[in-house]
Amino acid sequence: MGSLFDFMLPELKSPMTGASTDALMAFIHIVSFIILAGVSIAMIYFAIKYKRKSENDKTPLITHNNTLEITWSVIPLLLVFVVFGWGYKGWLNLKTVPDNAYEIQVSAYKWGWTFKYETGAQVGNEVHVPAGRPVKLVMQSQDVLHSFFVPDYRIKQDVLPNRYTYVWFQAEEAGESQVFCTEYCGTSHSDMLAKVIVHTEEDFKAWLDEQGTGGGGTPVERGEQLATLQGCVSCHSVDGSDGIGPTWQGLWEQERNFEDGSSEVADQNYIRESILDPGSKIVEGYQNQMVSYEGRLSDDDISDIIEYIKTLEE
């Protein structure tokens, strides 16, 4: 069904994220054309059939018609439900990252993109990825709102300051795709472009080796250093033992229960908030004695500490 509308869209290069979107778009177009044709034909037919023929021609006084009214309400309602259900399913798929995804950290700024790899390598305005494997981008902005848009993959996600957002795709073949910033972000918004460069699995490994570690070690190594330098580990153990604050061991993606009875999964946003505003959520059985690290740790520092915490499995 998608092929009918190919002329309107760039070639789909990430079917895992885009196939459902394309199919839904084709469905909406087909239904819209059928309705447009039906309404137009009926309108022309009635205009001719009921044209006023003489002075005495009077309009019959019809007040309502239940059958007709129910029909033209229920059919569109059902269509809306179909489109909603279909769209919701597609959205869930876009929000559910496959487990074996290759993760890359993305930092957006006025006006460009930085991509950071687990090896410590860092590249600007070019994100290199392996083909045939899901890739997860964990994104953050250093200033204003931006938005990461790859038409070839049918993915688009806002990138915010002070908050992590993510997006995933799987490019099936080696090649290149254009990235646009699609949130107006100032003078050079239209120049805020990047490229996704898809390599075969082997070429990608070779490319990554070539990049080295970016000089300062891997994000995990930097995170571990920071945790010591900044004194995090004097209150938070990394081996599960008790301390003034909750241990970091097993913290990643753990369900946290708070004093006020609420709970939350410890993801990037939770850990970031805990570092910058420690008093906002207090884990059951603890008292908050931590001060904010706002201004002491940069966004990059926080991301590196999170990468380190992720490695502290139970």
Which residues bind to ligand CUA, rule: CB under 6 A?
111, 146, 181, 183-185, 189, 192
Token pair of 208 as six digits:
């990554």
By the 8 A CB rule, do 104 and 127 touch? yes
Q: Distance between CA atoms of 21 and 145, rounded to whole angstroms? A: 25
CB of 106 to ligand CUA, least distance (A): 12
Closer residue to ligand CUA (CB): 147 or 218:
147
Of 139, 116, 110, 138, residue with least CA distance to 128: 116
Closer residue to ligand CUA (CB): 113 or 293:
113
CB of 222 to ligand CUA, least distance (A): 26
Token pair of 203 as six digits:
């070429």
Closer residue to ligand CUA (CB): 97 or 160:
160
CB of 105 to ligand CUA, least distance (A): 17
Closer residue to ligand CUA (CB): 141 or 218:
141
CB burial of residue 212 (10 Å; 0-12, 13-18, 19+): exposed
CB of 181 to ligand CUA, least distance (A): 3
What is the SS3 assignment for 108? Answer: strand
Residue 210 — φ and ψ, nearest 5°? -60, -30
CB of 117 to ligand CUA, least distance (A): 22
Closer residue to ligand CUA (CB): 181 or 297:
181
CA atoms within 13 A on the CB side of 101: 21
Q: Distance between CA atoms of 53 and 51, rounded to whole angstroms? A: 6
